[in-house]
Structure 1
Amino acid sequence: MRRFDFGLVLPARPLLTWGDGLVLAAIAAAIWLGAQLALHAPAVVKGPEISLSASALPWYAALSLLRMLAAYALSLAFALSYALSAAHNRRAERVLLPLLDVLQSVPILSFLPVVLLSLTVVLPTGVAVELASIVLIFTSQAWHLAFSMYQSARTVPRELMEAAAVFRFGRWFRFKHVELPFAALGLIWNSIMSWAGGWFFLMAAEMFTVGSRDYRLPGLGSYLQTAAHVGDMHALILGVLTLIGLIVALDQLVWRPLLAWAERFKLETVEGAAPATSWVYDALSHSVLVSRFIEGVWAPLVERLDRRWQDPRAPIRLEGRARRRHWWQRLVWFLFGIGLAYGLLRLLELLTALSASAWIDIGLGLIATFLRVTAALVIALSWTLPLGVAIGTRPRLAAVLQPLAQIAASVPATALFPIVLLAFLHLPGGLDVSAVLLMLLGSQWYLLFNVIAGASAIPRELRDTTELLGLTGLARWRILYLPALFPFTVTGAITAVGGAWNASIVAEYVEFAGTTHATVGIGAVIARATEQGDFPLLAAATLVMVLAVVLANRLFWLRLYRLAEARYRLE
C-alpha cells in the first residue's frame, strides 16, 4: 500500500466498494437538491419580505450555507497568511498582532453599517448587502483561527524546527510538513468553532437595519430573526430544528472525517487510546474513485506546487528576519500613514459633537459590560476545562459529546433569548442576569473547543507517565493538564473575551414582540446608536470598547502568550 500526503490509505483496487457508492450517492443527492432548490427559489424577491412558511426553509438554509462557506474560505486564507507572517517576522509581529487585537475587539455590529453603506455607494444594493453579510460572518470566524495558527506556529517543538533546518526546508516545505501538521488539530477544532460563531451571528448578518434603511437577505438567519421578532414560536422551532440538522450533517460529513484524518499528526511515539473514527473517512479511505482522484489529480498537483514553491537554496531560519524594505514599500507605508492621520482627524471632529452626558453613559456602560464579561469568562473556565479534557482524551466520549457541543455552540443564542428573557425578566437582576447568560452562550464555546484541541494534542506517553507515577486528581492537573493546555487556554480565553464583548450588543439591548428591553452597558449604547443611526455615538462607543479590549490584551493576555511560548511548549 502507498500513503499520499492527503492522508488516505490507497488499497489494492477492487471494482467498486461501498465507499464508491457513498461518493456517487452524494453526487446524485447534490444534483437533485440543487434542482429542487432551483425550482423553489423565488423568481422575484420583493425587498425585505421574509416568508415564515416551512416550504421556504430549504431554500433559505441553502443560501445561508453558501454565505457561511464563502466566509469560511476567506477566514482560513486570512488566518494562515496573517498568522504565519506575524509568527515568522518579529518586526511585522509588532504591527500585525496588535492589529489582530483591534480587529477581533471591534464589535461586529458596530462597523457593519460603515461597511454596508460604503459598499452600496460603489456596488448595486443586492451585491453590497451580500458582501456585507459575508464580511460580518467572516469577522465572527477569522480572528480565533488566526490566533490558533499563530499560537501553533510560535510553539512548534524545537526539534521539529531543527530537523526542518537540517533538511533545508524552504517556506513551503516548512509550512506543509511542519507547521500545518502541528497546527492541524487546533485549526480543525477552531474551524468547528468558526462555523458555530458564524451560525451565532447569522441572524445579524442577514437581518440588518441602519436607521430608516432596511437591509435584509433571504436566509435561515433572517427566518429565525423574523420568527423571534413576531413571536412565532412554531416557525422559530422549525428554524432551529433546520439549523440543528445542518450542524449534525456537517459534523458527520466534514468535521468527524477531518478529525480522524488529523490523528496522523499527533506527536506520539507510543500506541495511544482508540483514535477518533469516522464512517465517512473509512468509506473514503477504501473508495476506488477517491484513490484514483488522489493519484491522478491531487498528487500531481501537490508535486507541481512543490516544484514551483520550494526553494532548496533558501533553508529555514529558526528566527525570522525582516527583509530590507524597498522604496515602494516605504511609499505604501507613507501613504497609509497619511490616510490614517486624516481618518483620525475626521474621527476626532466627529467625537467632539458628543455631549458630556453621552461620554458618561459610555463610561458607565463600559464598567458594567466589563463586569459581565469577567463573570462570563470565570463561569466558562469553571466547566470548559474539565469537560474539554474529558472529550479531548477520550475519543469514544468525543464521538458522542462533540456533535452535541457543536449543536449547542451553533444555535444562535439570540433565537433562544426570548425564552431566556421571559424566564428572567421578572426575577431580581432580570435583564442583567440574562445578559450574562447570553454573553456566556456567545463566548464559552471558544474556550471549550480550544481546550478539546489542547487535550487531544497531549502525547499519550505523557499521560502514561503520569499514570506510572501514580499522579491523580489535582496533582495530575497541576503537572500535566494545566501546563499542556496553557497555550490553548490562552488562545481560547482571548477569543472568548472578544466574543463576549461582541455578544454584549445583542445581550444588553433586546427587542422581542415589539418591546425593547435594555440595561446599562456599552453594548446597549452601541445597539441603540445603530438603531437610531447616531454615528457619532456609535463611533465613540466602539472606539472606547476597542481601546479597553486592546489594553487588556496588551497588559494581560500578551504576557500569558509570551509565557506559553517560553515555558509551555512541547519539546
Structure 2
Amino acid sequence: MSGLGGFPSRGVWRQPALRWVDVVVAGALVALLYGLLRLAPSLNAPFLPSTAPSSVSTDPSNLPYYAVRSLVRMFAALVASVVFTFLYATAAARLRRAEKVLLPLLDILQSVPVLGFLSVTVTAFINLFPGSELGLECASVFAIFTAMAWNMTFAFYYSLISQPRELDEAARVLRLTKWQRFWRLDVPSGVIPLVWNGMMSFGGAWFFLAASESISVLNHQYALPGMGSYAAAAIAQGDLGKVGIAVAVMVVLVIGVNALFWRPITAWSERFRVEEAEAAERPRSAVLDMLRRSSVPGLLGRPLKGLWPALDRITRPFGLAEHPIGVSPVRERTGDVFFAGVVSVMVVYGAWKAFAYVDSTVGLGEFGHALALGAATFGRVVALTVAATLVWVPVGVWIGMNPKVTRFAQPVVQVLASFPANFLFPFATAAFVALGISLDAGAILLMALGAQWYILFNVIAGASAIPSDLREAMTTFRVGGRLRWRRFILPAIFPSYVTGGITAAGGAWNASIVAEVVSYGNHHLTATGLGAYITQATATGDFPKILVGISVMSLYVVAANRLFWRRMYRLAETRYAL
C-alpha cells in the first residue's frame, strides 16, 4: 500500500524504538535527583552550637548514609573548586599586574592548613545560617574546597601561560572575544592537566575529610554525619574493627567514584589532546561509551545550545582576545608603581596590626619559637619531596607513556591516591608504639601518604601528554637509555613535574597538621613541628598562636616557592614548553 502521490508510507509514523541504553541513563539521572531531594531536608536540620553532638554513632548500619553525605560534600567542593580555578587562574595569567599579587597570594593560601581556615570560617558560617545545620555544612564544604582548589588552579594557570604561540596568534587573527577564547582555546588546552589534577585534588581532599567533618575548634567539638566523623569516632574509641569497616567502605567508595566519574572524564578529555599523529590506544570507559550512545544527554543539552550565541554577543563589548596595544612605556611604568604602592601599603598595614596583636597577647618571642618548629617540619617536607621524586618520577613516566599500562594502572593509582591515608593512622600509631619509633621520624611517612601522589599524578599526566609523533621519532632514531631520559623524557615532563612538586610540597605542609599529632585509644603521639603547634592551638582556640603558626607556615612556603619553585616554573616556561 502506498501513501499520497505513490510514495511508500510504511514506517513514516512509527515512533523510534526505546533503547535500553536510554532507559539506563534516564533511570540513573532520576535516581540521582531523587536521592538529592531526599537528602536536602537533612542538610538544613535544626542546629544549636551549645547542644550540637560532638560525635556520631559508630553503628556500621549508618555507613551507607554517612557515605552519601560525604560524597555530596566532596562534589559540592569540587564544583566550587572548578569555578574558582577558572576565575582565579585566568585572572593571574591574563592580567599582568594582578599576577604579581595573585600568585604570591595563591602560595599563601595553599600553605594555610585546613584547620587554619576552619578556625575562622566555622563561626562565620554558623552565624550566617543561625539555627540551621547548613552553616556547619558550608564550613565543612569550604574546608574540603581549600584542600582541592590550589592544585587545580596552579595546573590551569600553567596551561594558560604555556599555550602554543600559533594557537594564541590564531585566536587574535580570528578576532575571538575573550569569552570565545576562554571556551574555545583556554579551556580545551587545559582540560587534560585540569582533569588529572582535579582527580588528584579530589583524592587529596579525602585525606582531610575527618578534620572537616569532625571539627575541633575554639574549645568546641562539632560532628557532621559522614565517613570522616565516623572514622574519628571509631579511632577515639580505639575500635580497630570499626576502623577496618570504615576502610573497606572507603575502598568501595573510591573505586565507585573512579569508575563512574573520573574514568569517563579522563577518557573524554583525550579528545582535547594536541598532536599530529593519533595515539595507538586511547583510554576507554564503558560509562562514557554508554553516555555517547544514549540520546538523553543530547536532549538535556538542547535547550542550552541557543545560550552560547547570546553570551557571545553580550561579551563582545568587553573586548577581543588580544591585549591592549599602544600603551606608552611611561604610562605603563607609572601604573605599575601605583599598583605596587597600594599593595605594599595594604601589606604593611596588615602586618603591623598582626604584630601588634601578637605582641599584646603572647609576645613577639613566639615567632622565634614557631620558626624553630617550622624548621623541623621544613626538613620533613624536603625529605618527603626528594624521596617522592626519586621513587615516583620513573613510575609515572612508565605508566604515562604506555597506554596499555595506563588503562590498568590508573584505577589502581587512583584508589591509592584517593584513599584517606589518615584512616590508617591508628594502625601506624600502634606500630610506632610497638616498635618504639618516634613520631619525629614517623611523621615523614604519614605526611608522604597524603602528599606524594601529587608528583605521581602530574608526571603521569605530563608523560601521557607527550605527542605520539615525538615518541615515534625517538624510536625511529633509536634514542634510548640515559640519552633518551636526559634529552627527551625529563624535558618533556619537567613542566608537569614542577606543578606536582610545588603542590606536593604545599600538600605536605598541610598534611603536617594531622600527621604530627596522631592518636589511637589511649595512645597519643606528638612530633616536634609546626603542624603540631597549629593543631594544638586550634583545638584550644588560642587565636594568637593560630595567627603565629599560620604566618610562619606561610612564610616558609612562600620563601620556598619564590626562591626555588618559581624559578623552576620560569625554566619550564622558557626552555621546556612543547
- Report the residue type matching 1:504 in the other structure: S
Whole-Å separation in 1 of the counterparts to 2:324 and 2:472: 31
Greater mean deviation of Cα atoms: 555-564 or 471-480: 471-480
**What aligned pairs does 1:199-218 form with structure 2 within 5 A after superposition?**
199-218=206-225
The residue that corresponds to 1:416 in the other structure is: 424
- Give 2:181's match in structure 1, choosing from 174, 194, 198: 174
Q: Is there any run of 5+ residues in structure 1 with no aligned partner, and where?
A: 1-12
1:520 pairs with 2:544: no
Q: Secondary structure at the match of 1:214?
A: strand
Query: Compared with structure 1, are the counterparts of its residues 138 and 319 closer, same or farther at alpha carbon in structure 2 (3 Å cutoff)?
Result: farther
**What aligned pairs does 1:384-533 form with structure 2 within 5 A after superposition?**
384-427=392-435, 429-533=437-541
How big is the shift at 1:106?
A: 1.3
Greater mean deviation of Cα atoms: 466-475 or 427-436: 427-436
Q: Secondary structure at the match of 2:524?
A: strand
1:366 pairs with 2:368: no
Query: Compared with structure 1, are the counterparts of its residues 143 and 261 closer, same or farther at alpha carbon in structure 2 (3 Å cutoff)?
Result: same
The residue that corresponds to 1:241 in the other structure is: 248
Q: Is there any run of 5+ residues in structure 2 with no aligned partner, and where?
A: 1-14
The residue that corresponds to 1:267 in the other structure is: 274
- Report the residue type matching 2:351 in the other structure: L
Task: Tell me the alpha carbon deviations over residues 334-380 of structure 1, each in whole angstroms, 9 at most, x when there is no partner.
Answer: 99988766543432123223358744542331111111111111111
The residue that corresponds to 1:7 in the other structure is: none
Whole-Å separation in 1 of the counterparts to 2:321 and 2:499: 30
How big is the shift at 1:35?
A: 7.9
Conserved? CA contact 1:490–1:557, under 8 Å: yes
Query: Compared with structure 1, are the counterparts of its residues 76 and 313 closer, same or farther at alpha carbon in structure 2 (3 Å cutoff)?
Result: closer
- Give 1:113's match in structure 2, choosing from 106, 111, 119: 119
How big is the shift at 1:61?
A: 1.4
Query: Compared with structure 1, are the counterparts of its residues 290 and 230 closer, same or farther at alpha carbon in structure 2 (3 Å cutoff)?
Result: same
Number of residue pairs aligned between Structure 1 and Structure 2:
553
Structure possessing the higher radius of gyration over alpha carbons: 2
The residue that corresponds to 1:565 in the other structure is: 573
How big is the shift at 1:531?
A: 2.1
Greater mean deviation of Cα atoms: 272-281 or 402-411: 402-411
Conserved? CA contact 2:162–2:573, under 8 Å: yes
Query: Compared with structure 1, are the counterparts of its residues 342 and 129 closer, same or farther at alpha carbon in structure 2 (3 Å cutoff)?
Result: farther
Conserved? CA contact 1:208–1:216, under 8 Å: yes
Whole-Å separation in 2 of the counterparts to 1:477 and 1:543: 40
Whole-Å separation in 2 of the counterparts to 1:519 and 1:93: 37
Using the size of structure 1 for normalisation, the TM-score is 0.89
- Give 2:26's match in structure 1, choosing from 24, 27, 30: 24
**What aligned pairs does 1:312-323 form with structure 2 within 5 A after superposition?**
314-317=320-323
Query: Compared with structure 1, are the counterparts of its residues 520 and 180 closer, same or farther at alpha carbon in structure 2 (3 Å cutoff)?
Result: same
Query: Compared with structure 1, are the counterparts of its residues 115 and 44 closer, same or farther at alpha carbon in structure 2 (3 Å cutoff)?
Result: closer
Whole-Å separation in 1 of the counterparts to 2:42 and 2:367: 51
Query: Compared with structure 1, are the counterparts of its residues 320 and 491 closer, same or farther at alpha carbon in structure 2 (3 Å cutoff)?
Result: farther
The residue that corresponds to 1:305 in the other structure is: 311
The residue that corresponds to 2:3 in the other structure is: none
Whole-Å separation in 2 of the counterparts to 1:357 and 1:331: 35
The residue that corresponds to 2:8 in the other structure is: none
How big is the shift at 1:312?
A: 10
- Report the residue type matching 2:94 in the other structure: H
1:258 pairs with 2:265: yes
How big is the shift at 1:183?
A: 0.7
**Cα RMSD for the two superposed structures:** 3.0
- Report the residue type matching 2:523 in the other structure: T
Greater mean deviation of Cα atoms: 270-279 or 397-406: 397-406
Whole-Å separation in 1 of the counterparts to 2:563 and 2:41: 56
Greater mean deviation of Cα atoms: 64-73 or 45-54: 45-54
Moved over 6 A (4+): 35-45, 318-322, 330-339
1:55 pairs with 2:61: yes
Query: Compared with structure 1, are the counterparts of its residues 241 and 471 closer, same or farther at alpha carbon in structure 2 (3 Å cutoff)?
Result: same
Using the size of structure 2 for normalisation, the TM-score is 0.88
Query: Compared with structure 1, are the counterparts of its residues 38 and 140 closer, same or farther at alpha carbon in structure 2 (3 Å cutoff)?
Result: closer
1:81 pairs with 2:119: no
Identity, % of aligned pairs?
Answer: 42
Whole-Å separation in 2 of the counterparts to 1:123 and 1:37: 18
Whole-Å separation in 2 of the counterparts to 1:482 and 1:47: 52
Whole-Å separation in 2 of the counterparts to 1:338 and 1:394: 53
Q: Secondary structure at the match of 2:215?
A: strand
Greater mean deviation of Cα atoms: 470-479 or 145-154: 470-479
